[in-house]
Amino acid sequence: MKIQLDGISNARDIGGIPVDGGIVATGRLLRSGEHSRMTESDGKRLAACGLRRVIDLRTAAERDNVPDRKTNGVEYVNIPIIQATTFGISYESADGPTIALKLQQGIRRMRDKGETPEEHMQELYGRFVRNDHCREHIGQFVRLLADNPTDGATLWHCSAGKDRVGVCTAVLLHCLGASREQIKADYMLTNELTRDNMTSVVNKVRPCVSPEMMQLVLKMLYVDESYIDTFFAECDRLYDGIDGYVAAIGVTDEHKRKLAENYILH
């Protein structure tokens, strides 16, 4: 369910998604992009949603470059899912030349490694499975929700709320008993919910880059089903499936029981 905010993109409540034995409770689990442009009215809207905790999945450098605007009475937790990041800007607030420069720098680095943007993104999603740091912190995210529920809503975000948030949400939904189809549907909803913002970004960038570069840039701004499929395929390859991966990141049956107890309406 979309949460309409002025300065925060891709915000939604994942309540209502069908899971084994019920549905995900509303007003408990929220996801979004970064909060550097959060307005006063956004803060009031999130307070009305019962926000009690924000989990920032970005690196320390990203948090320093684009700090969240914070709300009194809300707990803030940092769980950096990756160790380094290419892009540390707010696409919505930066100007076209700045965004274009950052994106082109990233794409040139990909080319130097012989990667296309699609291959780069698929490599990132595979890294969420293979990399020790990623596994440790994705596990920390799920265990925090299981072991320390708030009396209201927890929101997690990265920069755009699509890749790190997308994978963490996919793992959480699996632990709650959602089907692969439901997980993918929530993941792909990002493209619909960010369409207006991304159209604005594209319009700012287009005059600054060649048509060929623009096509490559578009691959970096949206999610694609092949990206999350790569994550699941790597779980299959290395852990005999998502259940094996969940066990490897330290999420136990007891954690799943607590998640169900706190976040599922039966």
CATH number for the domain spanning 21: value is 3.90.190.10
Q: Which two tokens stand for residue 104?
A: 């082109």
91 within a domain of the structure (yes/no): yes
1 in any annotated domain? no
The pLDDT of residue 133:
97
Task: For residue 176, give both structure tokens.
Answer: 């709650």
Q: State the amino acid at position 207 in one-letter form.
A: P
For 16-25, write each residue's pLDDT tens digit. 999 999 999 9
Domain carrying residue 223: 12-265
Q: Within a 10 A sphere around the Cβ of 189, how many other Cβ atoms?
A: 17
Question: How much is the pLDDT for 242?
Answer: 98
- Residue given tokens 């189809």 in the structure block: 181
Q: Please list the pLDDT of the chain residue by residue as tens digits (266 residues).
A: 899 999 999 999 999 999 999 999 999 999 999 999 999 999 999 999 999 999 999 999 899 988 999 999 999 999 999 987 544 445 666 788 888 888 888 888 888 889 888 998 999 999 999 999 999 999 999 999 999 999 999 999 999 999 999 999 999 999 999 999 999 999 999 999 988 888 888 888 889 888 888 888 888 888 999 999 999 999 999 999 999 999 999 999 999 999 999 999 98
Tell me whether residue 2 is in a domain.
Answer: no
CA distance 249 to 262: 20
Does 3 map to a domain? no
Q: What is the pLDDT of residue 253?
A: 98
Number of domains in the chain: 1
pLDDT tens for 109-120 read: 888 889 888 998
The pLDDT score that the predictor gives to residue 89 is 46
- Mapped onto helix, strand or coil, the DSSP state of residue 139 is helix
Tokens of 84: 């380094």
**In the chain, which ranges are E strands?**
12-13, 18-19, 22-24, 29-32, 51-56, 75-78, 153-157, 264-265
In a domain, 7, yes or no: no
Residue 94: the pLDDT is 73
According to the model, what pLDDT value does residue 91 have? 62
Residue 52: inside a domain, yes or no?
yes
Residue 68 located in a structural domain? yes
Stated pTM of the model: 0.93
Q: Is residue 128 part of a domain?
A: yes
